[in-house]
């Protein structure tokens, strides 16, 4: 009997661990149903082991409720971990049908064999539904893929186990007390506990990796604008430069015009609002593969893999117009100046190219602001309104863009 208490104790330990991890980071809501799942499975096993309540039919229904809740919560937690929100309808419908059927074959038509099939097949179907809705984990990290396949294996194992159960208990199937003491029932109990421990370990490891990744994101992200900070840009750009397939790489430097005047006239809260909204505009207007960072008080940079300086110019102009046409402050219209360069093959890091983009940025500032200057290119003629920098000195190649007035 004491050995039979080990599985629920282990499952309870995982429930407490996952709940504790949620307390460390309450944004990870998927940890709550996962903690509830392990608590539910542990309580269900405890009810079966201790035969609580003592009435056989009532005990069967109670344990069925706990198993169904545990399976549904496990499927829901892993589904939420995959990025999907809401409660998939099968995770509500299947447990209700399973428990209702078990109650019927416990009180109305007492059939132990049918209850075995309903319980095991029901749990398998609930977990299969969870695996289906969490299937995007199969394309995730190594830990996420392992978690998905463990969930799928747990779901599928209920079906052959049920057939083996029915085949091994034979004539004792009609005696519930005898069935609870069979070697196969004990083996089945421990098999479920082993699956629970393995999945519990996988969930703890995935959660620990999530927490580490979250801490790294916080370390590498500018809290005000949601863009990368200098450290984050260094890390991500170094990874980018190690991939030759990502070249050519265009670099865009952006600076908010007259930002000091905004702070002086309207206060630092207004200045923070401008920074926040421009950071949001940059992030939402760039590709997922682009690196957007805030590297100074009011200066941003964009690193564009698989892009030429001409394409960088096109993006900078699109961003310049977007900022000028968007109400990003409670004061006068806000504009930005841009400088564009392309990373050279001999550049050891991204900062060498950003220094050249920065020179074009300050040339744009001196040329009147709210405009884009791009480093000299061997490309087709650029669109009207472009300032082309030759050897670091800007040269007007078309009429300058008029500064937009509100």
Q: Which residues are marked as active site?
A: 298
The label of the residue with tokens 């505009």 reads: 281
DSSP state of 382: P
Is residue 332 reached through a cis peptide bond, with omega within 30 degrees of 0 on the bond before it?
no
CB distance 383 to 399 below 8 Å:
no
In sequence order, what are the beta bridge partners of 396? 387
User: Could you give the residue ranges of the DSSP H alpha helices within 170-258?
Assistant: 176-180, 183-220, 230-241
Question: In Å, what is the CA distance from 197 to each residue of 6, 145, 154, 273, 279?
Answer: 11, 17, 11, 48, 44
β pairing state of 249-256 and 372-375? unpaired
CB distance 4 to 49 below 8 Å:
yes
Long-range contacts at 79-85 (CB < 8 A, ≥ 24 apart): 79/30, 79/130, 79/133, 79/134, 80/29, 80/30, 80/33, 81/30, 81/34, 81/134, 81/137, 81/147, 81/206, 82/133, 82/134, 82/135, 82/136, 82/137, 82/140, 82/144, 83/136, 84/133, 84/134, 84/136
The label of the residue with tokens 């609002």 reads: 273
Nearest to 294 by CA among 344, 256, 347: 256
DSSP state of 140: S
């Amino acid at each position: 009997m004491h050995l039979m208490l080990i599985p629920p104790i282990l499952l309870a330990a995982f429930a407490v661990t996952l709940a504790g991890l949620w307390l460390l980071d309450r944004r990870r809501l998927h940890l709550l149903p996962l903690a509830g799942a392990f608590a539910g499975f542990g309580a269900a096993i405890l009810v079966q082991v201790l035969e609580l309540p003592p009435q056989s039919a009532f005990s069967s229904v109670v344990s069925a409720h706990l198993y169904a809740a545990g399976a549904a919560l496990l499927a829901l937690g892993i589904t939420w971990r995959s990025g999907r929100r809401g409660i998939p309808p099968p995770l509500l419908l299947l447990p209700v049908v399973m428990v209702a059927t078990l109650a019927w074959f416990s009180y109305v038509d007492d059939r132990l064999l049918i209850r075995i099939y309903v319980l095991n097949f029901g749990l398998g179907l609930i977990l299969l539904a969870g695996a289906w809705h969490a299937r995007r984990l199969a394309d995730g990290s190594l830990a996420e893929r392992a978690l998905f396949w463990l969930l799928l294996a747990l779901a599928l194992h209920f079906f052959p186990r049920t057939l083996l159960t029915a085949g091994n208990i034979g004539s004792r199937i009609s005696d519930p007390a005898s069935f609870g003491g069979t070697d196969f029932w004990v083996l089945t109990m421990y098999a479920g506990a082993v699956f629970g421990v393995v999945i519990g370990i996988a969930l703890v490891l995935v959660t620990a990796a999530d927490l580490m990744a979250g801490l790294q994101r916080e370390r590498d992200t500018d809290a005000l604008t949601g863009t990368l900070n200098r450290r984050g840009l260094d890390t991500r750009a170094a990874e980018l430069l190690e991939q030759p397939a990502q070249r050519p790489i265009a670099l865009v430097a952006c600076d908010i015009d007259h930002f000091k005047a905004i702070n002086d006239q309207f206060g630092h809260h207004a200045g923070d609002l401008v920074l926040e909204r421009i950071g949001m505009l940059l992030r939402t207007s760039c590709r997922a593969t682009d690196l957007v960072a805030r590297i100074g008080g009011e200066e941003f940079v964009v690193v564009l893999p698989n892009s030429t300086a001409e394409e960088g110019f096109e993006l900078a102009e699109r961003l310049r117009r977007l900022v000028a046409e968007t109400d990003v402050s409670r004061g006068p219209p806000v504009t930005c100046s841009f400088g564009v360069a392309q990373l050279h093959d001999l550049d050891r890091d991204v900062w060498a190219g950003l220094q050249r983009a920065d020179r074009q940025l300050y040339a744009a500032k001196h040329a009147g602001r709210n405009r884009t200057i791009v480093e000299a290119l061997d490309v087709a003629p650029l669109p009207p309104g472009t300032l082309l920098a030759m050897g670091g000195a800007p040269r007007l190649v078309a009429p300058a863009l008029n500064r937009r007035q509100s």
